[in-house]
Structure 1
Amino acid sequence: MFRIRKEFHFSASHQLSHLPDDHQCARLHGHNYIVVVELAAEALNDDGFVRDYHDLKPLKTYIDETFDHRHLNEVLDVASTAENMARHFHDWCAARWPETSAVLVSETPKTWAEYRP
């Protein structure tokens, strides 16, 4: 299996207001997010790629226009956890690129959430 990954960055605020008041994530706060999309294929295309990295530019545009410097509670229909965001980005990517195999989302240098069907 061949796998490629591409990383994207954005900054945004959110609040997990369903958590208890004394939970730090219940307060309004922000992160510098990293989104990594992974694509996989059993065989390479005629150009020797799983997919040309340039083909992933629409994801950068989507992130920049929809998520960057936004309040995620106003963008997502679900709680703005890293886990839900990984699923959201996976579904968005898989609808465009069937080779999408996983998406990872980081809120901090030490934390990662992954969605891999």
Structure 2
Amino acid sequence: MYRISKEFHFSASHQLKGLPEDHQCARLHGHNYVVVIELQSEALNANGFVRDYLDLAALKRYIDETLDHRHLNDVLGDDRVTAEHLARHFYDWCKARWSEVSAAKVSETPKTWAEYRP
């Protein structure tokens, strides 16, 4: 199996409503997010790629135009915008466009990651 991945970055705010008031994530706060999309294939295409990285420019545009420097609760219409939910969101968005997508990972801090892999 061949696997490739590409990393994307954006900054945004969110608030995890429903947590106790004294929980730090219940307050409005922001992160410098890192998103990694993984694609896999048992065979390479005619150019020797799983998929051309240039094809993934659509995800960069989506992030820049829709998520970057926004309040994610408003954009995604959800009070539970966790890294886990974002990983699933990115997986679904990418899988609808590229059949080779196999996983999405999201980091909110340099030491934490959430991954969605069906």
Tell me the equivalent position of 2:82.
Answer: 81
Alignment of 1:27-66 (within 5 A): 27-66=27-66
List structure 1 segments (4+ residues) > 2 angstroms apart after TM superposition: none
- For 2:83, give the aligned amino acid: A
Query: Aligned pair count?
Result: 117
Shift of 1:75: 1.0
Q: Distance in 1 between matches of 2:96 and 2:77?
A: 18
Shift of 1:17: 1.5
- For 2:53, give the aligned amino acid: Y
The Cα offsets for residues 36-60 of structure 1, whole Å up to 9 and x where unpaired, read as 0000000000000000000000000
Alignment of 1:1-117 (within 5 A): 1-78=1-78, 79-117=80-118
Q: Distance in 2 between matches of 1:26 and 1:2?
A: 40
- For 1:69, give the aligned amino acid: H
Instruction: Please report the TM-score for the alignment, with normalisation by the length of structure 2.
Output: 0.98
- For 1:113, give the aligned amino acid: A
- For 1:100, give the aligned amino acid: V
Shift of 1:18: 1.1
Q: Distance in 2 between matches of 1:83 and 1:74?
A: 17
- For 2:114, give the aligned amino acid: A
- For 2:81, give the aligned amino acid: S
Instruction: Please report the TM-score for the alignment, with normalisation by the length of structure 1.
Output: 0.98
**Root mean square deviation, CA, Å:** 0.6
The Cα offsets for residues 65-114 of structure 1, whole Å up to 9 and x where unpaired, read as 11000000101133110000000000000000000000000000000000
Q: Distance in 2 between matches of 1:110 and 1:76?
A: 25
- For 1:65, give the aligned amino acid: E
Q: Distance in 2 between matches of 1:18 and 1:52?
A: 42
* SS of aligned partner of 1:84: helix
